Every structure is written in C-alpha cells, then in structure tokens.
Amino acid sequence: MTDTCVVVPTIREYECVRAYVANAQEHGHEDRLFFLLVTEDFCDTDAMRAMLDDLDVDGAVFDGTARDEWYAEQGIAEYGHVVPAASHAETSFGLLYLWANDFEYGFFIDDDTLPHDTDFFGTHFENLAHEGSVTEVRSDEQWVNVLYQNFEEHGLYPRGYPYAAMDETVETDTATLERGDVVASQGLWTNVPDLDAVRILMDGDLQGQAQTRTTADDYGEDFVAAEGQYLTVCSMNLAFRREVVPAFYQLPMDDNEWDVGRFDDIWSGVFLKRACDLLGKQIYNGAPLCEHNKAPRPTFDDLNNEVPALELNEHVWEVVDPVGEDADDYHEAFAAMADALADDDFSQWTNGEFLNFVGEHMRDWLAALDALETPTADTRATVVADDD
C-alpha cells in the first residue's frame, strides 16, 4: 500500500533518487513510497519522468507550469502564491500534494544527499512509531544544538541557530514516550555540515562548504528537545506524519521584496516545535544519517540571502513562544502563530515587515489546506490517473 509521499526538490542532481529507491528496495519499503519531484520549467522533466519509469516506482514530476495546472484542477489557484517560485521552499507544494492525496506520511529529501548503508526509510518509520525512553536535551538558552554531542571537537552550530543562544549550558535527561508522540523524525548528516554563511566564512571557505566535516562518530544517541526548547529543523533528511502539515508550512522565501531566503525550513521547524509543545508531541532527532554532498557555490551568495533576516531569526521564536495556549490541534496552533506574526508591529527590527508577510502567507496556507480538505472523488481520480 502506497502511504508515503517522498518529496525531492531538485534542479540538478535528481539521480540521487536512484540511491534512495535502491535502499528502499533492499529493505522492502518500495511499495509504500510515491516519489514527488518538484522542479522548474527550465529543467529536463522528461528525463526525470524517464528515471522514475526506469526505476518502476510510483511518482510524478511537477515543474512550475505543472504546479499551476494542478492548483487550477484542485480549485486553489488563488492560493498558488503560498509556494514561492524558484525556491527550496517549493517543498510546500509537496505538502499540498500529500494533503490532497491522503498520504499518511511524508519525507523531505534534498537532491545533494545520499543514504548511508542502513535502512533509511525503515529507521524513519521506526522513529515515528517510537515508544519508550529517549534522551531529552535542554539548555539554559532555550535552544538545543542538534550537533551538541561532539561539540567540544567540532564547535559547530547549524544553520538557523540563533547567535544569542550560543555558549549554552546543555543538560540531558530521559523522557518516556508513548506510541504516536513522535510526529517528525529529523535525520542528521555527515560530510558537509548544514551551516549558515557567516559560520562557513569563519571556517574559512568561500565555496559554500565548511572545511570542518562531520562523520557518524559525531553522533551518539537519538534525542528529543525538551518541552519549551527550540531546535533547528533541516528539511534535507526528514520524515513526518500527515497530521503536522497544517503547522509545517515551508515559509515563503526568495520570491519576496526583501530578498529573504534560507530560513524556510528553519522557521517552519520553530513553528512546528511550538505546536508540538502545545499538543504534547515530539520531534525525534538522530538516525538515519545521510551523506550531504553540497555542491560548491559562492558563500557570499548564501550570505546575501541570509543577511536580510539574520536579525529576525534571533527573535521570531520569541514572537510565537507565548501564543497558542488554547490550541487543540495543529491548525489552531498555527493560526495563533500566524495572527501573532501578521498583526504585530516589528519595525524595531531590520525588515520587520517581512514577518507580517510571513504571517499573512501562513493564513493563506491554512485556507489552501481547508480548500483541499474535501476534494471530489472525480478530481482525486483524475490526479492519480495523470500521475500514472
């Protein structure tokens, strides 16, 4: 039974799908997976479809034109703007597609990654079904560094970790989880660490890649961040339950008047963690690892995308941390955060108006999901037939 939508945003290295399909076949998961490639009009979509046919897996390829057609077919053309053009945040299209087609699980996989020689999909499924004890991490700065376990050796903080939360004191404990408590599984990464441009420059690299690398030895036990603690969530290696989709919108980056980019998955992770805390759920972190083979690119390009929102990144979590106490589900939790961002005045911060822009898009995100909630049987049958 196909119950899982694997979303791969790609404009270059789509052949990575072959390695993930091989891993799924080796461990007996291929029948559960639908591979959704989200790409652009200038890419070779025919070659991508031919690859899926060659691999004999269920899947579909959506460039910009195909996405617009899909919005129209689903009756949500007025909400097409929630997915930005030519941005990694196009992963949000995968969430819309998952929602419309009743998949129970979703995966985000970046095209510059490869699975390790382990049961990649099975480990994520096991994490989502985890029950029993797990390491729980907190710090005196209310932030957990997902690279905390070997920090004394590498000194790394991941992309999106607030600068004000550095030099934290880390404490660990043991939490006991019930089945269903884990709603997202974040796999971490070896080789090129996921750092922001400032930290990459400090590591002495002008080609977008830190000279300090991570290996499997840098990771120990899997862990969760304690209630009230935040963490960075990177979408390159991530699995999640359908239920979180209303609170997991990948924020509108790149295609905006402030030229803000690079914080789509980071801020979505902040909002998801707040929702999880409100609802008594968890984001599980650690295995399965992936190998991150980031292609060289000018570090200053990433810096230019990040600088417009670096100050906002220090504060966005503080905006949503007090809200949503009365929420009973992810939709209500996310709506409370959307209101806090859309309606407040953030002019004290550089590009503060961008937070209002984000909040308004979050509201539209929920409206788009509501519009997809009950698609007609004829519409759903047409979509499935087109994918085949």
Residue 383 has pLDDT above 90, yes or no: no
Taking residue 141's Cβ as centre, other Cβ atoms within 10 Å add up to 18
Q: Is 388 part of any domain?
A: no
Q: Is 185 part of any domain?
A: yes
Q: Largest alpha-carbon pair distance within the chain?
A: 58
Q: Is 309 part of any domain?
A: yes
Q: Is 326 part of any domain?
A: yes
Q: Is 241 part of any domain?
A: yes
Residue 376 has pLDDT above 90, yes or no: no
Q: Is 387 part of any domain?
A: no
Residue 379 has pLDDT above 60, yes or no: no
Q: Is 310 part of any domain?
A: yes
Query: For residue 176, what are the domain limits?
Result: 4-382
Tokens describing residue 226: 């304690």
Supply the Cα-derived Rg of the chain in whole angstroms: 20
Average pLDDT, the chain: 95
**CA 40 → CA 15, 65, 111, distances in Å?**
16, 8, 14
Tens digits of residue pLDDT in 280-328: 999 999 999 999 999 999 999 999 999 999 999 999 999 999 999 999 9
Q: How many domains does the chain have?
A: 1
Tens digits of residue pLDDT in 323-352: 999 999 999 999 999 999 999 999 999 999
Q: How confident is the model at residue 205 (pLDDT cuts 50, 70, 90)?
A: confident
Q: How confident is the model at residue 256 (pLDDT cuts 50, 70, 90)?
A: very high
φ and ψ at 275, to 5 degrees?
Answer: -60, -40
- Rounded mean pLDDT, 102-112: 97
Tens digits of residue pLDDT in 57-98: 999 999 999 999 999 999 999 999 999 988 999 999 999 999
Answer left, alpha or beta for residue 384, where phi above 0 means left and psi between -120 and 50 means alpha.
alpha
Q: Check residue 388 and give its pLDDT.
A: 43
Tokens describing residue 383: 């979509």
Residue 21 has pLDDT above 70, yes or no: yes
Q: Is 311 part of any domain?
A: yes
Say how far apart CA 253 and CA 305 lie, in whole Å. Answer: 9
| pLDDT above 90: percentage of residues in the chain | 94
